[in-house]
Structure 1
């Protein structure tokens, strides 16, 4: 777990926005993991992989990540390399294969139109399918340089419309049902996530928070 903390520290210092996105994605992923009744071992692997899913963005130029308008085809091609770049870096730390699979496959789609390999349905490891939902949900409901955040309701509607195409139908349905049923809040608020480094309370408890996610 010291390796994981070092990688997260590197991400936090290099790209704070991606770091806080990672924390939120990990919380949502863990909630979905509970809904599908993962074993304790798989929950740990899921959390670890979710924390490192965007590790490869350390090597994407900030001018691209922070671009306030749409990306060119060439720029998008650079962004799409981050799963492979991330897994290459993660392999150096001898992380479990399931964690590497999350990093590599979290942008695959069940209809085969994702990247980097165009895998379909069960070809995509189930933990990566969970992180895919959490990643998309947070991306839609968070501020981006090129757009304002969507409402939770709109993000849920988009996920629902893309069950069986972009997202795993079973996992996505459970997540939507949990939110509709007043399930527990499983992500950081915008105030916590976007201004966390300005709040002494969060700074004092940040390591405790990360340790909780790792456990």
Structure 2
């Protein structure tokens, strides 16, 4: 803050504090007269006579004082203002329109910030009251300077406090999701809130272009184009790691060794320009955001590798006994369709997907002649079949990252009424993923070929699922299944499954 702006701020702070009104009240009480006070900034010492005359007329009018401000009077006040600057002491004004007039310099620490012009009718100020006014103004000035200093300290600390809070919030975001498609919109919304901007766009790098990947906006969604890193000036600057700050735009690169993406902000909600504080806040935000994004991307890569590995593993059943492996690739789509309608979280869906691929891994331990047997199974053979969820779970639990998948696999043959296997669990004691798989597995078994029974058509299978609502199946899962049926999802997936089976 330069000297002139500080002087202006001091006068504004004193004027807004109510101190001048309180001083007038005390003076009127002590003198029995009618005082009126005018605050002037130091810049008035550089005014022309006409400019100073205009200032005084406006001030008198605001105070409700009807006086004739003559040129001679203005000259006197102007002369005393300049003398006050030199002497830094109280100066008396000789005036025809009041009994007494005084100019008090607002002086502190070697600087004059302005003046108080005091005029009194029907009364006089003795030396004791003059000292009172001087002391009062000194206290008011010191209070104003302290208030301004506190505001300055606050304005310097605020971006750092916000930055620290942002770090904490982004850390919470990191732990809330490792899905890039969920993470980016959350980061955009958080950045919008922190900076109080109208628009936040997160671009992600794809080759030599920046593609808009997440947009948060307080109004309608804006049209956003991609940026060429080689041809556009902004793109080139960002690619070199530069932060771009203008009054209405702020661009901060997301860098980890090289440019990964960019956070772009448009306009502040309060109409003020972006400043260095905003730049500092968003730079700290970007440092944390890149950690979250890279973690999510790494997790996504690992998940893809794991998923492909599980798909490969699940095919071992097909290799062992192609005619008996009953879960085509589209079975995963069937399970996901039910999970989507149920409203399962993305994390839980991921575990259910893994469980689906590993559902019947334990069947590798069942003799092939039992799996292929066309007639009724003996009690021993049926017992062998019933043990396959336990064997599947035993195989999978050795993989640490798949620990949450184990209960889904183990209990996917449990029934809502408690008559299932291997533990006879009932109701919501059965894991949600297992309840969803139970419905999907039963539907798939009804429409696809089994050595031991005739298959049903899609409509018949749907009716059977309805009949077992609240008996074999969780009513809420059945309702989710039926919603997927109504939307046409199940029929499309069922047709794909039947086509895949026919090609075996």
**TM-score, normalisation: structure 2:** 0.37
| Post-superposition offset of 1:136 | 0.3
State which of 112, 116, 122 in structure 1 corresponds to 2:418. 112
Closer, same or farther: CA 109–76 of 1 in aligned 2, 3 Å? same
2:314 pairs with 1:8: yes
> Which structure: greater strand fraction?
2
Selected match of 1:94 from 393, 400, 404: 400
Greater Cα shift, 144-153 or 14-23: 14-23
Give, in angstroms, the shift of residue 148 of structure 1.
2.6
1:37-90 per-residue CA deviation (whole Å, 9 max, x = no partner) reads 222211111111011111111111110111010111111011000000111111
In the alignment, is the contact (CA less than 8 A) between 1:24 and 1:138 conserved in 2?
no
* Corresponding position of 2:493: 186
Out of 124-133 and 144-153, give the one that drifted further: 144-153
Residue 52 of structure 1 is matched in structure 2 by 358
How far the C-alpha of 1:154 sits from its partner, in A, is 1.2
Deviation at 1:17?
4.5
- Cα distance between partner residues in 2 of 1:9 and 1:159: 28
2:447 to 127, 130, 141: 141
Bigger RCO (CA 8 Å, 6+ sep) = 1
| Per-residue CA distance 1:112-166 (angstroms, 9 max, x = gap) | 0000000001110001100000000000101111223101111111111111110
Tell me, in whole angstroms, the C-alpha distance in 2 between the residues paired with 1:9 and 1:71.
25
Report whether the alignment pairs 1:71 with 2:348.
no
Aligned length: 196
Q: Which runs of 5+ in 1 are unaligned?
A: 197-215
Distance 2:451 2:321 in 1: 14
Report the TM-score, using the length of structure 1 for normalisation. 0.84
1:27, CA displacement in angstroms?
Answer: 1.7
Q: List aligned pairs for 1:29-44, cutoff 5 A.
A: 29-44=335-350
CA distance in 2, matches of 1:49, 1:83: 11
Output the aligned Cα RMSD.
1.8
- Counterpart CA distance in 2 for 1:91 and 1:132 is 20
Mapped to 2, the partners of 1:94 and 1:18 lie a distance apart of: 30
Unaligned runs of 5+ in 2: 1-305
Give the drift of 1:186: 2.6
User: In the aligned structure 2, how far is the partner of 1:99 from the partner of 1:5?
Assistant: 15
Distance 1:39 1:18, change over 3 A: farther
Q: SS at the partner of 1:26? A: helix
Mapped contact 1:35–1:174 kept (Cα < 8 A): yes
**Structure 2 CA distance for partners of 1:156 and 1:111, relative to 1, 3 Å:** same
Q: CA–CA distance in 1 between the matches of 2:410 and 2:401? A: 13
> Aligned residue for 2:207?
none
- Between the aligned partners of 1:26 and 1:20, the Cα distance in structure 2 is 12
* The structure with more helix, counted as a fraction of residues: 1
Superposition deviation, residue 20 in structure 1 = 5.2
CA distance in 2, matches of 1:68, 1:11: 18
CA contact (8 A) 1:15 1:58 kept: no
